[in-house]
Amino acid sequence: MNTLSSQAGPARTKRITAPDIMSRKGQTPLVCLTAYTTPTARIMDPHCDILLVGDSLGMVIHGLPNTIGVTMEMMILHGQAVMRGSETAFVVIDMPFGSYEASPEQAFANAVRLLKETGAQAVKLESGPTVAETIRYLTERGIAVMGHVGLRPQAVNVEGGFKAKGRTQAERDKVIKEAQDSEAAGAFAIVVEGVAADLADEVTRLVSIPTIGIGASNTCDGQVLVTDDMLGLFDWTPKFVRHYADLRTQISTAVETYAKDVRDRSFPAPQETYFAK
């Protein structure tokens, strides 16, 4: 029985698996959003194939300037929250900066901790030039791995900022090689972030596993956005974000109205107050 969502939105009875995700190559696009808390995971779960507990939580939830300061403890805390709020979506958790680069053995120990302590089903690694060996090491030991090529947020200090990739031939060759190496090493899917559209198209054609685009191309096998971005909670968002709501304005208006009601003593009203019998 296919448990994945489709355009018709059939009922799902069990969690989506990594093989389910792989089977969607070239089929109905995979729906993925970031999730960091139990209430939002509960809302998104019926609509998403994949929930990504992204290290973007450092910026979105904790106000950090980038993802470098995110710790294992932060990822575990939010991963546990998302698992409590989801029932059917496939849950992937990012391995934070510094948790997998030193050696495959280090990566394995930290990946095992993330999966054991959260219950998530897979980890995601940014697929730099040395990561294919690590992906192979993990997958051979029973850990499902999602790769990540193109713009790599954890490399912000080397790159000097969040810069789109694939505008030169050298960059294109690098992204393609890292995608192919990730697939060959056993990754079940690859996030393709911040690359020229035709490069995303080429990567999608060249690998036999699903590509999940973010700031890439609509021909990718799926799409992911930072949920808080698409809900309009921030003043600024990247070019590739479409706003599906303006919650920043709605929340601000609600808080402003609440503050007024408190100050003029119209809240709480009698219907919101307990009285002695």
Q: Do 1 and 19 contact (CB within 8 A), yes or no?
A: no
> Does a structural domain hold residue 198?
yes
d(CA 150, CA 252): 35
34-58 pLDDT per residue, tens: 999 999 999 999 999 999 999 999 9
> Does a structural domain hold residue 13?
no
Which residues are annotated binding-site positions for 3-methyl-2-oxobutanoate? 55-56, 94, 124
Q: Do 21 and 210 contact (CB within 8 A), yes or no?
A: yes
Q: Do 45 and 86 contact (CB within 8 A), yes or no?
A: yes
> Which CATH number do you get for residue 200?
3.20.20.60
Say whether pTM exceeds 0.85.
yes
Is 193 annotated as catalytic? yes
Under DSSP, the state recorded for 195 is: B
Residue 211 tokens, joined: 């590509």
d(CA 269, CA 264): 11
> Does a structural domain hold residue 277?
no
Count of structural domains, the chain: 1
SS3 163: coil
Catalytic one of 193, 202, 256, 272: 193
Report, as an integer, the average pLDDT of 251-271: 98
Backbone φ and ψ of 130, nearest 5°:
-105, 5
SS3 30: strand
137-176 pLDDT per residue, tens: 999 999 999 999 998 877 666 665 556 667 789 889 999 9
Cα angle for residues 192, 197, 202 (degrees, 5° grid):
70
> Does a structural domain hold residue 10?
no
Residue 162 tokens, joined: 């969040």
Which residues are annotated binding-site positions? 55-56, 94, 124, 126
d(CA 186, CA 182): 7
81-126 pLDDT per residue, tens: 999 999 999 999 999 999 999 999 999 999 999 999 999 999 999 9
> Does a structural domain hold residue 274?
no
> Does a structural domain hold residue 137?
yes
Q: Do 160 and 132 contact (CB within 8 A), yes or no?
A: no
Neighbours of 214 (CB within 10 A): 26
- Structural domain including 215 reads 18-243
